[in-house]
Amino acid sequence: MNRLELIANNVFASNFNHTLHAYIDIAGGLVEGTLLGQIMYWFSPDKNGTIRAQIKKDGEYWIAKKRSDWWDEIRITDRQYDRAIKSLLDKNIIVIAKYKFCGLPTPHIRPNYEKIGELLDEYLCNINSKIDTKKSAQISAQNTTDVKTGITQSVKRELHKTQNGNYTKRNSHITEHTTENTTENNNICATETCAQAPQNIDEMFNKFWKAYPKRRDKKRAYKVFMKIKPNNELLQQMLDCIEREKKSLDWLKDNGQYIPYPSSWLNGERWNDEDITDTVTIIDNKPKAVPVVKNVALESLRSAAEKSTNTPALGDIGDMWGDDDDY
């Protein structure tokens, strides 16, 4: 305590008052809270356990004070007192009644303990809520700091200091690594948008299953799919291949009788097959194969054989060179 504080404390020790933050907050202002705090002081026990308010009317203790008394105690003006006492009365924090004091009708004041208790309980709940919110914010900020610190340290490990103390990049690994992480975290794939990309392996299998025209032996197909564990790009390659093969002659003839089971298709990695060229045209809802071009060399040989008597029969030539369908 410095010299000025010591002098002020000795001069005003007899009428020193202490206002709690809780009273200021529930009363709604500094002057109102200061007045409420001083009222509560008079209704608190002294060092002997005796309540300081000594006026008792209708079974309650009261205080009776003039405006000048409040100035002497807590340094509030008459106007400040009138405004503050009205605010406390409107909030039902105090009770005022008129009784005679020294032979004159005088306003008597006492606290409304029930209302003050309710306000203090609410105030305490708000304080606890703010503390919890503050702690949560601190934890969140700490977690963010930890993440940023970890990233910073990771980046610095990939850098080296030059002679002037600045950091320079060792190689392009950091940029590539950062790009890969950003791409992975944002679920970006080369063939699908984020909204369309499957989120897990089950969703990927369901997408494959719906696209495949012959849905047989799902359990076995699922097991094979799990062994492959395709990424989004490979899944899209599978789906594109299935769409192409749906238009092929082998998959359309005899009502799809020759379509392999999904498990066989997956085991054979059929998506790696060369593009199917024997596509068909649909006419009147019936597949019609595109005409196959005849082998010109074979036709010429057959024509020459028919003109010669020493050449084998046409049927023999056909057996020697194979059926047209093989070409």
Query: Are 36 and 88 contacting, i.e. CB atoms less than 8 angstroms apart?
Result: yes
Q: Is the pLDDT of residue 16 over 60?
A: no
Q: How far is CA 114 from CA 39, 107, 110, in A?
A: 15, 21, 12
Query: Are 320 and 301 contacting, i.e. CB atoms less than 8 angstroms apart?
Result: no
Q: What are the pLDDT digits (tens) for 150-159?
A: 655 554 555 4
Count the residues in the chain.
Answer: 327
> How far, in Å, CA of 88 to CA of 2, rounded?
37
Query: Are 53 and 94 contacting, i.e. CB atoms less than 8 angstroms apart?
Result: no
Q: What are the pLDDT digits (tens) for 219-275?
A: 999 999 999 999 999 999 999 999 999 998 889 888 888 899 999 999 999 999 876
Helices 201-211, 232-245: inter-axial angle, 10-degree rounding = 10
Query: Are 259 and 216 contacting, i.e. CB atoms less than 8 angstroms apart?
Result: no
Q: How far is CA 45 from CA 57, 62, 206, in A?
A: 18, 14, 77
> How far, in Å, CA of 180 to CA of 240, rounded?
25
Q: Per-residue confidence at 129, pLDDT binned at 50, 70, 90?
A: confident
Q: How far is CA 180 from CA 93, 174, 183, 186, 191, in A?
A: 64, 10, 5, 10, 16
Check the CA dihedral 261-266-271-275 and report its sign.
negative
Can you read off the two tokens belonging to residue 19? 């206002």
Greater pLDDT, 37 or 255:
37
Q: Is the pLDDT of residue 111 over 80?
A: yes
Can you read off the two tokens belonging to residue 3? 């010299």
DSSP state of 326: G
Please state the rounded mean pLDDT for residues 46-73: 92
- Tell me the range of 95-99, 123-127, 268-272 where mean pLDDT is highest: 95-99
40-46 — which CB contacts under 8 Å span 24+ positions?
40/111, 41/17, 43/110, 43/111
- Give the global pTM: 0.40
- Residue (of 233, 211, 220, 231) closest to 266 by Cα position: 220
